Structure 1
Amino acid sequence: MQVTTEAMIGTVNGALTAPRALLLGRYDQAGRLQYVGRSTKTVPGRQPGKPH
């Protein structure tokens, strides 16, 4: 079984042109963005969602 959820990119760790990781958040019931996790280390020159 696979469980998924939606999250927003709260910030980029590193330069926008060469991000190292993405910090993710979800809104709580009070409407505040709460940190929920981070992406794995990104691969330089690879766009998310594109095959490598």
Structure 2
Amino acid sequence: MASFDLKTIVKDKRFWAASFLIAWAAGLQGHMMWLQRQDSFKQKFGTIDEENQK
């Protein structure tokens, strides 16, 4: 098993780019799940605008 030096990993730009990409993708996935939950709530209960038009 190859030993690794933590200081070189922290200084590596590829490590930070990959970390940023993973965090961005996780945030995007969470946001999309939140939007889907909002849409299903609107389908189930409707919106205030729809109730005013009835």
TM-score (norm 2): 0.18
Q: Which has the higher strand share?
A: 1
Larger Rg belongs to: 2
